[in-house]
Amino acid sequence: MPPAELINPSVRRGPFKAVLFDFDGTLSLLREGWPRVMVGMLIERLRAMSLLREPESDEWVAIDKLVMAQNGAPTIRQMEVFVEEVRRRGGTPADSWDYLREYIELLMRDVRGRWDALEVGELQPADWVVPNAHAILTNLRDRGVPLFVASGTEYDHVAREAHLLRVEDFFLTGINAPKDNDPSFGKGKVIARVLAELGIRGEELLGFGDGVVETGEVKRVGGVAVGVASSEPGSGWGVVQPEKRARLIATGADLIVPDYSQQEGLIRWLWGEAK
């Protein structure tokens, strides 16, 4: 048995010829807390337009669901969905790009402090990645498997964070992320390009992600998806985040892990080298 929760007992076991990682919540924890910031802001916007209909206790659940259904898509997509939601409630929304700017400004208040602290060495990269992320990347690189990262977060930010967290060197072909929040960016396109460039089949792709978008795209081409139901810093190693887990399973994740603390056994199992 793998040192992970096995959701699909007939999952294909490698060898895999490429591995795709999502960035936020899958490698980086620097944007930890982003759903709280986004959902909080959108609820405030709805309140300001007197468009909150549900009892207060249900507001968070409703908006969180809306946001997390797009987890992994370019951030502008989440704002577009919110614009649709405002209209659905009979309101007149602002432009999705205005919402995006406001959200990034709010989020960056937290994130910028973390960037600065990493830069001067007050914070360590290992403390702001999903536990053992450097170890799984090293393990896979040592096996000679090409590694790719695809993120729905703005390119400049992902590039900077990959550098600060010392993971950029694992991704030889660079960072795949939307430049200037390009809404036409898609993880499905990145996967199609990777498969074409390497001349490999979808089933030879292994993906790691904490979002429904990358998990769905990896499954769509017939690859194996490991759902990373990562929790937030401070909640300890080995703790699966239950809502993430449920969404990842519903999207087709083959296995669920809380982090990479068991990465060595997991990779051996996925490569068919361990029972």
Q: What is the CB neighbour count within 10 angstroms for residue 249?
A: 17
Query: How many residues in total does the chain contain?
Result: 275
Measured from the CB atom, the residue of 22 and 204 that comes closer to Mg ion is 22
The CA distance from 148 to 141, in Å, is 11
Between 145 and 213, CB nearer to Mg ion: 213
Closest distance to Mg ion from the beta carbon of 22 (Å) = 4
CB of 98 to Mg ion, least distance (A): 24
Rank residues 25 and 131 by Cβ distance to Mg ion and give the closer one.
25
Q: Which sign does the torsion angle of CA 223, 18, 187, 6 carry?
A: positive
Which of residues 155 and 269 has its CB atom nearest to Mg ion in the complex? 155
Please, which residue, 22 or 154, has the CB nearer to Mg ion? 22
CB of 71 vs Mg ion, minimal distance in Å: 6
CA distance 45 to 240: 31
Q: Which is nearer to Mg ion, 72 or 146 (CB)?
A: 72
CB 130 within 8 A of CB 162: no
What residue ranges bind Mg ion (CB under 5 A)?
Answer: 22, 24-25, 210-211
Instruction: List residues bridging with 269 in a β-sheet.
Output: none
At its nearest, how many Å lie between Mg ion and the CB of residue 70?
11
Tell me how far apart the alpha carbons of residues 201 and 198 are, in angstroms, rounded to a whole number: 9
- State in angstroms the smallest separation of the CB of 24 from Mg ion: 4
Residue 144 — φ and ψ, nearest 5°? 80, 20
- CB nearer Mg ion, residue 18 or residue 212: 212
CB of 84 to Mg ion, least distance (A): 22
Cβ at position 147, least distance to Mg ion in Å? 16
Residue nearest to Mg ion (CB): 25
